A and B are shown apart, each in its own frame.
Chain A
Amino acid sequence: MTSTLADDRTEGPVTPRYPGMKVTQARVFNSEWTKFRSLRSTNITLLVSVLLTVGLGALISAVTASHWASASPADRATFNAVVTSLDGVNISQLAVGVLGVLLLSGEYATGMIRASLTAVPKRLPVLWAKLGVFAGVVGAVSVAAAFGSFFLGQSLLSSKHLNVSIGSPDALRMVLGAAVYLVLVGIIGMALGGLLRNTAAGISSLVALFFVIPPVLGLLPTSWSDRIGPYLPSNAGEAFWGHPTGTHLSALAGLLVLCLWAAAAVAAAAIRLKKVDA
């Protein structure tokens, strides 16, 4: 190194120009919030999930009420006013899950991930911030949507006096459970997006996990499906927000199992993010 070009000021750690400059988890969280709200597709997907939750719940409640007179005894026996009003969740979980996938896989598809990880080379704070922003926003929106579905559905069912109040047994647990379920599905989606780093692959595996494997499992001998079935994420979820039936786990066990699914998926995504070249 020639002495004229060497610059002593550059030895050792750099003094940042802006006081207090430093990566903190709160700042990365803030950044992810900026990213989240500045994508139109994110907001549209979120809106779609709300419309599906509330709209389908209302539609199914209205149809059930209008056909009540001609409903079969079996249908009447399995009818549950809370589940009927929350039925939209069965479909809106797809929108929420896809949103989760997109929030991570979209960064890989566009190359944004390189900018994100260069700004935060420790990497994991980006994943935690993304999960936090997603859980916060989707949680708040889903709670609102679940209560909206419940009250709209109950008012539609009230024409046949089929409605229940929020104070009735299990009603509040199921409404809040539906919101929690949506958040957990979204988190699994996000983990799949990060694990596979590809939108199509992420959405496919999400659909497989929630919509394909459960019915396929039904084709297996009951001794198998009865043993494995309750532990699938969709069935574990139904145990705490859906129709309580004998084949499901208890509500608490269901919540625990789904949380374990989400935790395992997030752990795998975190390891892949940290260890594998971006």
Chain B
Amino acid sequence: MIEVSGLTKRYGDKTAVNDLSFTVRPGIVTGFLGPNGAGKSTTMRVIAGLDAPTSGSVLVNSADYRRAAVPMAELGILLEAKAVHTSRSAYNHLLALAQTNGVPKSRVAEVIDLVGLREVARKRAGGFSLGMGQRLGIASALLGDPQTIVLDEPINGLDPEGILWVRNLLKSLAAEGRTVLISSHLMSEMALTAHHLIVVGRGELIADLDVEEFVALASTNVVLVRSPQASQLRDLLLGPDVTITSKEAGVLEVRGVSADAIGDLAFDHHLRLHGLAVQQASLEDAFMEMTRDSVEFHAHAANDRTEAPERLPQTAGDRR
């Protein structure tokens, strides 16, 4: 289990993580999702004890990892940035790590086989492809047979077969009762791998919900309404659970009201409709929608919105 409470991490005057709280439970795969610069890697570095929190705390299996007696049995971690001396062989890299915690040599061979690096284990790690580097990173995370596993972007650089392998590996680790946290910026991948999601943006929690809930939110239909009297229609449609955005004059994107209801409403008020279409939002769209306000680096698209987008409802307490 990982418990992050009130975590704030500042580097100089830049706040990477701001008052972040969430719990990662054992027995399931939890996805840690957010756009680049959202604070995922920073949070993981704090979990691993590499960076000290500015304030707040992180507990791994109910204890401070920095004081762990058997660190590699508590936590196995793969950070996004490579953590291997390029001139050393994969075998010696893993052996040196295993020796610190008293992990037997036989386990080194075991994890090398598990990640499929047996053939290249005696070669310099510096010559590894991105995918092989990821496999080596996963091998080092699993060395101590840890209760909690944290992997930063584990599928980066893996081929489709490798992605499937990681997905199954993570699910089986979780099924053994371990805590598994993986980060990604790909919602579609998380939907296939994770059971629960922690979504962050600009260092703050955006959502803490099950994948099923997220998918349900995402598949809320968007109704595209085309009307010469769009602004009047908009005023009539607005309500507590209704979100309306507009990308061009005379066109409304309506969430929270069915197409039938919109048609009936327009008819009742004698408003003309030129189009009424139901659109299914993809998971990726829903994720973008959720994190739009918190994307660190916007590509400046000529996509002027006439109305500020509204957020998807949060299930885990409103933090704004």
Contact = CB atoms under 8 A, between A and B. Distances in A.
B195 to A, nearest CB: 8
Contacts of A21: 70, 72-73, 101-103, 144
A39 B74 contact: no
B315 to A, nearest CB: 13
Contact of A6 (B25, B104, B144): B25
Contacts of B85: 35, 39, 106-107, 110, 112
A20 B144 CA distance: 12
B86 interface: yes
B70 A31 contact: no
Contacts of B177: 7, 9-10
Contacts of B71: 23, 118-121
B31 interface: no
Interface in B52-105: 52, 61-63, 65-75, 77, 79, 81-89, 92-93, 95-97, 99-104
B88 A16 contact: no
A38 interface: yes
B8 interface: no
A118 B148 CA distance: 13
Contacts of B156: none
Interface stretch (B43-51, B239-247, B264-272, B276-284): B43-51
Given A7-B26, A10-B147, A14-B61, A119 B81 contact: no
Interface in A103-127: 106-107, 110-122
B221 to A, nearest CB: 29
B147 A18 contact: no
Given A10-B26, A13-B61, A112 B66 contact: no
A1 B82 CA distance: 34
Nearest to A275: B52
B97 A115 contact: yes
B83 A114 contact: yes
A5 B25 CA distance: 7
B51 A277 contact: yes
Contacts of B129: none
A23 B27 contact: no
A145 B65 CA distance: 44
Contacts of B95: 34
Interface in A37-58: 38-41
Given A21-B102, A21-B103, A14 B25 contact: no
A1 B23 contact: yes
Contacts of B92: 34-35, 38
B145 interface: yes
A119 B101 contact: yes
Interface in A227-248: none
B297 to A, nearest CB: 24
B103 A111 contact: no
Contact of A27 (B28, B75, B100): B100
A67 interface: no
B140 interface: yes
Contacts of B23: 1
A14 B96 contact: no
Contacts of B61: 10, 12-14
B90 to A, nearest CB: 11
B107 interface: yes
Contacts of A14: 61, 70, 73-74, 146-147
Contacts of A17: 73, 144-145
In order of increasing CB-CB distance, the 3 nearest A-B pairs are A16-B73, A38-B92, A31-B99
Interface of B: 1, 23, 25-28, 45, 48-52, 61-63, 65-75, 77, 79, 81-89, 92-93, 95-97, 99-104, 107, 140, 144-147, 177, 179
10 contacts: A7-B177, A15-B73, A18-B145, A27-B100, A31-B100, A35-B96, A39-B87, A40-B87, A110-B86, A278-B51
Given A14-B147, A18-B107, A38-B88, 19 more contacts: A5-B25, A6-B27, A7-B26, A7-B27, A10-B179, A14-B146, A16-B73, A22-B70, A27-B101, A28-B99, A30-B99, A39-B87, A106-B85, A112-B83, A114-B83, A115-B84, A117-B49, A119-B101, A121-B65
